[in-house]
Amino acid sequence: MTRSSAPGKVYLFGEHAVVYGEPAVPCAIERRARVGVERRSDATLRVHSDELSLDGFTVEYSGSTAGTPDIDADESLVNAAMGYVDEAIAQVREVAGETDAGFDVTIESDIPLGAGLGSSAAVVVAAIDAATRALGVELEPAELAERAYRTELAVQDGQASRADTFCSATGGAVRVEGDDCRSIEAPDLPFVIGFDGGAGDTGALVSGVRSLRDEYDFAADTIGSIGDLVRRGETVLEAGELDELGDLMDFNHGLLAALGVSSRSLDNMVWAARTAGAHGAKLTGAGGGGCIVALDPTPETETALRYLPGCESVFRAELAEDGVRRLE
C-alpha cells in the first residue's frame, strides 16, 4: 500500500473573489487528510472511510459512476466517496496511461468536511499522489497541484480555483491569481479556528455570488475590492504586522458578508473573537456555515469561542510548512 497525506488550509484573504481572477492568500495548516491506496487486479474502485467527520462508509463500484451505488448512506456521503475520489482516480489513470487500473482507497482525515478548511483538496491531493505512486509514477508538486485542480474543476462544474489544491500540494502560505500560483513568505501566524459544526453548500454559495455579480455592478465592485485588499494584505503579511493583518481580515469578512456568504453562526464567532481581543477574524472558505479563522497569540479567543453557544469546537492550528507528505 502507498500512503500520502496533505494539509487543509485557511484563507487569510480572497475566497470567492479568486474565482474571478482576483488574488487570494490561503495558508496550509497542520490538519491533514491521509489516503492509502492499493492496486486491485480488476478495474473496481473501492473507497472506505472511518472518518471525514462523518459516519464510516464503504462504496464499491465498477465502470461509470452515473448510477449511485445502493448503500445505506446519506447522499452527501456518496458524493464525498465518489465525486472527488473518482475524478482524482481518473486523473491518475490518465497520467499513468492505465485506463483500467482499479484501487482500494482508504481515507482518514482530521479536517472537518465542508467546513471551509480545504478537506476536498487535501483528499484529492493525497489520493492522486498515493495512487500515481502505486502505479510507479511520482509527480512533482506543481503537476500534482495541476491534476488536483482539474479534479476539483470537474466536480465543481468549472467554478473551482487553483488556490486550495495548490496550497495543499505545496504547503506554507501561497498567493494565487488566475493561473499564477506561488509560495510567499509568512510568519508562523497564531491561528485560532472556530467550527460551528455545519457545512455550507459550496456550489450554491459560489452560484449565488455569481448571480449577484452578474446583476449588480456594486457586487462586481465588491469582488474587485477584495482583490485590492489582498494586494495590500500580501505586503502586511510579509512584514509580519499582525495588527493591520487583523484589520484587513475584519474588512474582508465584511465584504464577504455583503456578498451573502456569511451566516449568523459565523458572524457570532467572528464577533466573539474580536471582542476577546483577537487581531482580526473572518470566515474561511465558501461560507454559509463551517469555520472562522482568528489571529490571537493569547488564550482569550479560544476561551470565548469555547463558551459561545453555536460553536461546536475550537482549536489552534500551526502553519504547515510541508504540502503533500509521502508516508509509505
C-beta contacts of 154-157 below 8 A and 24+ residues apart: 154/87, 154/90, 155/83, 155/84, 155/87, 155/120, 156/202, 156/203, 156/206, 157/203
Is residue 128 within 8 A of residue 147, CB to CB? The reply is yes
Q: Catalytic pick from 164, 188, 217, 322?
A: 164
Residue 104 annotated in active site = no
Q: How far apart are CA 73 and CA 54, in angstroms?
A: 10
Label residues 201-233 b or e (16+ Cβ within 10 Å = b): ebeebbebbbebbeeeeebeebbebbbebbeeb
Q: How far apart are CA 190 and CA 66, in angstroms?
A: 44
Catalytic residue positions, numbered: 164
